[in-house]
Amino acid sequence: MDNNIEKRLQSLKDRLSYARDIFAGKHDDSLSMLEEKLAEFNARASMGEIQDPYTDIVTLEDLFSYVESRLEGLITPMDKVRIVRHPQRICLRDILENVYDNFTEVGGQDEHSLDPSMLIARAVITRRHGKKTHTQSVMIIGQEKGHGAEFRNGGSVKPWGNAKAQQYMRVAETEGIPIHAYIFTPGSYPVEDYPGAAQQIARNIYCMAGLRVPVIAVISEGGSGGAEAIGLADKRLMLSHGYYSVISPEGAAAIEGHLKAGERATPELIEHCAEHLHITAQDNLRFGYIDRIIQEPPLGARPNHFEFFRQLRQEVIRATDEVVIQSRGLPGFRKLALSRLRRPDINLDETYLRWGLSSSNKDRLVERRQQKYLHFAREAALDKRPFLTKNAAALRDWLSKPWVHLKYDFYRKHQRRIKSMVEEVGSEIDLIKSRLFSPWRKIARLPAKKTQAAELTSLSNWVDDQRRSKWNYLSPRYKIDRTLTCPNSATYGCLDLWGPDLFAEFAGVCSHCGYHFPMEPEWYVKNVFDVDSVFEFNAEIEAGNPLEFPGFDERIAQAKAKTGVKSGCMTFEARIDGIKMVVAMLMGTFRGGSVGAAEGYKFVEAAERAAKKRYPFLAYVHGTAGIRIQEGTHGVIQMPRCTVAVRRYIQAGGLYMVLYDTNSFAGPVASFLGCSPYQFAVRSSNIGFAGPGVIKETTGMDIPPKYHRSYRALSRGHIQAIWDRRQIRANLKQALLTIGGRNLYYR
């Protein structure tokens, strides 16, 4: 047997073991047949019985291809999960070598890197136009799984790896070159170091929401937060055998099966979750969260599929060209150029389009990207607002826009100038007056002595005596005659607390150590804001079951019945000492405060309302367990989407504050909450990316106690201060008066 035949045989062996791996025991008859044929050929070849091995091996290879393409039709979503995780799967280095013409790795090499699972490279694409050759630079950012090399950590990026990515996104922005992001990650590495996992992902998403260069993302394995950290792109392409999901099927199964730490989900449950989470490229194209699918060879792309790489090259160039065209030029010309790009026979290597953008083009680029995300997933929420109301609201918005513009951008500016002039003149007059009248004043002063004595000894007026009726709302638990033990009593020796004291007067705070017992969302709504100032809007937008996840309709209905609200996010306008503000509250009582399409929709609407009215915007997180996994990518898309809304609000000169209470974890913290420059936490809250169980499960690490405590979040700079629950109102007032926002109505 010559070398060539042996190599081809080895390749067939690899194909077979690959197929066995990805089908995990299924389709055994077909695969056994292949194995038999392979063994037979092998035996005969080594005995020298084959006359013309080159013809025979082609027959065998054809058989393999035939069986593979037949099995291709039987691939289930879980098989795709196994495909993207397989060590033979293409990885980012293969793409760099085969798709781009040259590249230089930056930010570390191989294992000598801040985080080897995040690979950054400056790459070039050479395109010929006529006789001229053009070299175009791109910044490649992506997770590197490295065919199973251990130091790559499976593409699970540590916070500092994401920070590296953010740094080079900024570099690309400075240099004005497009970014190609390749997503090969099962999820981020959930450590709360400096920076914390959630903290850094939030920064990345916030950064990408305003990046002034074209961003193209290619998704192979899109695992939740880790994917979003580099995934907020103008165009999102997806490999046909990839998956893009809110959580790994195993993780979903653990949650669905209510598994405790250490227990394993059954393969059936995992398969069930993989199917119903709608994680495939085809599903996501249908939802609109990706723009195009890049077809892979049967059973998924592996490093020797060179045709696939050529196709991928065409697709990323096309996507980049499209983004550039859509950001610039005249509308008519744009359409023409786009239709030319989409011609199937075009070879983009032989066309040329400059990728540089002017400043106004960049504005358009960012605006288009933001609008794209803002429009995602609206249909996934149940909007039960009556048709007329919806339209009336839209009309009102449209009509009030010029008025608001006139009021704040024109009138207020000039009003301030006039006011300061009046003040100056006034103080001059006062000065002259005081000089003129000074001889008389001394005489007039004498009787003041008596009033002074009266002031010091008789009853004064005291209007703001609110000390008696300290709380407008008491937790209903105060009616129960029972004692509660403070969780810190073993450490600090707190005496047991009597429920009626604790849940009424003490506001749920241990009177000895200050531990905060969780309170109902109503407590905050009624006690933090001025009495009767709360005006809820968009209450009719309801959480639903957009993926028709089995059994979830009932559970959502239960949550609605239990809490009396229609979604986990309540948005309202309220006042604190007369200062009006918009508040979006994530309620831990509604399915753990998880965020789905409805919650995201309401959050975005609230941010837009705040921007329009020039109100401060507060995200009060009573509790959030993360993205609602049963909504799949409808949920996960809320991360970039809400972040875009927040970024637009902040850039319009608003004041966006976040206040965490109880437990705040995962997606929301890693995006639209964690990106706020002003985040605060109520004492005894926990903040982080993944809970202790998940960290143990995914990293094998035992985490120290108090790992997610707000004080640690404060130390690593995630939040800015820790507040006592009883002080929230006063602290918010203080914050409203002292920080943020050049465009707030009361400034």
Partner 1 sequence: MSTLQDLYKLPLNQHKVLVANRGEIAIRIMRACAKLGLPFCAIYTAEDAASGHVRHAREHGGEKSLYRVSSYHDANELMAVADVAECTAVHPGYGFFAEDFRFARRVTKRDRKMIFIGPSWKIIRELGDKINTKRLARSLGVPTVPGSDRPIYDEVEAERIARSVFEFQEQQGIKRPLVLVKASAGGGGMGIEEVYDIDMFRSVYRRIRNYALRQFKDEGVLIEQRITDFNHLEVQIVSDRSGQHPVHFGTRNCSIQSTGLQKRIEVAPGFAPHNISYSFNAEKVLVDIVHYSLTMARKVGYDNVGTWEWIVTRNGDPFLMEVNTRIQVENGVSARISTVNNEGGVDLIAEQIRTGLGQPLGYGQEAIAFDGVGIEYRLIAEDPDNRFTPWVGRIERFSWQDQPWLTMLTHVPTDEPYEIPTEFDPNLALAIVWGKDLDEAKARGREFLDGLVLEGHNAAGDSLKSNVNFLRANTERILRF
CB closer to partner 1 out of 359 and 457: 457
H/E stretch holding 580 reads: strand 579-586
CB of 396 to partner 1, least distance (A): 40
Q: What's at 194, amino acid-wise?
A: Y
Helix (H, G, I), strand (E, B) or coil at 315: helix
CA–CA distance, 335 with 339 (Å, rounded to integer): 6
Closest C-alpha among 246, 326, 341 to residue 284? 246
Place of tokens 């001059």: 428
SS (H, E, C) 648-677: HHHHCCCCEEEEECCEEEHHHHHHHHCCCC
Size of the site for partner 1 (CB under 8 A): 22
Question: Does residue 471 belong to the site contacting partner 1 (CB under 8 A)?
Answer: no
CB of 581 to partner 1, least distance (A): 22
Judging by DSSP bridges, how do beta strands 569-576 and 483-484 pair with one another?
unpaired
CB closer to partner 1 out of 336 and 480: 480
Among 39, 392, 453, 531, binds partner 1 (CB under 8 A): 453
| C-alpha distances in Å from residue 413, one per residue of 383, 405, 419, 422, 625 | 38, 11, 10, 15, 43
Helix (H, G, I), strand (E, B) or coil at 381: coil
CB closer to partner 1 out of 345 and 465: 465
Among 449, 564, 700, 702, binds partner 1 (CB under 8 A): 449
CA–CA distance, 648 with 617 (Å, rounded to integer): 12
CB closer to partner 1 out of 417 and 468: 468
Q: How many CB atoms lie within 10 A of CB 423?
A: 10
CB closer to partner 1 out of 175 and 455: 455
Helix (H, G, I), strand (E, B) or coil at 486: coil
CB closer to partner 1 out of 3 and 738: 738
Among 32, 415, 452, 715, binds partner 1 (CB under 8 A): 452
CB of 681 to partner 1, least distance (A): 17
CB of 572 to partner 1, least distance (A): 26
CB closer to partner 1 out of 524 and 601: 524
CB of 530 to partner 1, least distance (A): 18
| Region from 205-213, 360-368, 450-458, 565-573 binding partner 1, contact rule CB under 8 A | 450-458
Do residues 597 and 556 lie in contact, with contact meaning Cβ atoms separated by under 8 Å? no
CB closer to partner 1 out of 707 and 711: 711
CB closer to partner 1 out of 497 and 736: 497
CB closer to partner 1 out of 420 and 466: 466
Do residues 566 and 601 lie in contact, with contact meaning Cβ atoms separated by under 8 Å? no
CB closer to partner 1 out of 339 and 460: 460
Question: Does residue 420 belong to the site contacting partner 1 (CB under 8 A)?
Answer: no
- Cβ burial 179-212 (10 Å sphere, 16+ → b, else e): bbbbbbbbbbbbbbeebbbbbbbbbbbbbbbbbb
CB of 523 to partner 1, least distance (A): 17
CB closer to partner 1 out of 399 and 463: 463
Do residues 249 and 639 lie in contact, with contact meaning Cβ atoms separated by under 8 Å? no
The H helix count followed by the E strand count for the chain is: 28, 20
CB of 279 to partner 1, least distance (A): 49
Among 108, 500, 550, 693, binds partner 1 (CB under 8 A): 500
Q: How many CB atoms lie within 10 A of CB 141?
A: 28
Question: Does residue 477 belong to the site contacting partner 1 (CB under 8 A)?
Answer: no
Residue 473, classified by CB atoms within 10 Å of its CB into exposed (0-12), middle (13-18) or buried (19+), is middle
CB of 509 to partner 1, least distance (A): 10
| Region from 20-28, 448-456, 530-538, 546-554 binding partner 1, contact rule CB under 8 A | 448-456
Among 387, 481, 561, 738, binds partner 1 (CB under 8 A): 481
CB of 438 to partner 1, least distance (A): 20
Do residues 323 and 316 lie in contact, with contact meaning Cβ atoms separated by under 8 Å? no
CB of 591 to partner 1, least distance (A): 34
H/E stretch holding 571 reads: strand 569-576
Question: Does residue 577 belong to the site contacting partner 1 (CB under 8 A)?
Answer: no
CB closer to partner 1 out of 422 and 453: 453
Among 455, 532, 554, 577, binds partner 1 (CB under 8 A): 455
For residue 409, give the DSSP letter.
I
CA–CA distance, 636 with 633 (Å, rounded to integer): 5
Q: Considering only residues 683 through 742, tell me which ones interact with partner 1, judged by CB under 8 A.
A: 724, 726-727
| Region from 96-104, 497-505, 606-614, 675-683 binding partner 1, contact rule CB under 8 A | 497-505
Question: Does residue 460 belong to the site contacting partner 1 (CB under 8 A)?
Answer: yes
Among 43, 261, 346, 495, binds partner 1 (CB under 8 A): 495
| C-alpha distances in Å from residue 605, one per residue of 222, 545, 598 | 27, 20, 11
CB closer to partner 1 out of 65 and 727: 727
| Region from 239-247, 311-319, 404-412, 456-464 binding partner 1, contact rule CB under 8 A | 456-464
Q: How many CB atoms lie within 10 A of CB 504?
A: 17
CB of 654 to partner 1, least distance (A): 29
| Region from 369-377, 500-508, 601-609, 686-694 binding partner 1, contact rule CB under 8 A | 500-508
Among 32, 483, 558, 734, binds partner 1 (CB under 8 A): 483
Q: How many CB atoms lie within 10 A of CB 449?
A: 9
Extract the tokens encoding 75. 């691939």
CB of 468 to partner 1, least distance (A): 8
CB closer to partner 1 out of 345 and 464: 464
| Region from 13-21, 31-39, 282-290, 447-455 binding partner 1, contact rule CB under 8 A | 447-455
CB closer to partner 1 out of 32 and 727: 727
Question: Does residue 456 belong to the site contacting partner 1 (CB under 8 A)?
Answer: yes
Extract the tokens encoding 102. 């040259």
Among 339, 420, 438, 458, binds partner 1 (CB under 8 A): 458
CA–CA distance, 402 with 706 (Å, rounded to integer): 51
- Cβ burial 230-242 (10 Å sphere, 16+ → b, else e): bbbbbbbbbbbbb
| Region from 320-328, 445-453, 554-562, 616-624 binding partner 1, contact rule CB under 8 A | 445-453
Tell me the sheet residues that pair with 107.
none
Question: What are the backbone angles phi and psi of residue 18, rounded to the nearest 5°?
Answer: -60, -45
CA 168 to chain centre: 19
Tell me the sheet residues that pair with 624.
664
Closest C-alpha among 267, 268, 289 to residue 278? 289
CB closer to partner 1 out of 19 and 681: 681
Q: Considering only residues 503 through 532, tell me which ones interact with partner 1, judged by CB under 8 A.
A: 505
Cα-Cα-Cα-Cα torsion 411, 417, 420, 424, nearest 10 degrees, comes to -140
CB closer to partner 1 out of 701 and 722: 722
H-assigned helices in 24-74: 28-47, 53-72
Among 194, 408, 471, 498, binds partner 1 (CB under 8 A): 498
Do residues 63 and 37 lie in contact, with contact meaning Cβ atoms separated by under 8 Å? yes
Question: Does residue 457 belong to the site contacting partner 1 (CB under 8 A)?
Answer: yes
Among 432, 446, 459, 490, binds partner 1 (CB under 8 A): 459
Find all residues with CB under 8 Å of 81, minimum gap 6, and list them.
Answer: 243, 248, 249, 274, 279
Among 6, 428, 501, 553, binds partner 1 (CB under 8 A): 501
Place of tokens 């506001």: 507
Chain residues binding partner 1 by CB under 8 A are 449, 452-453, 455-460, 462, 465, 481, 483, 495-496, 498, 500-501, 505, 724, 726-727
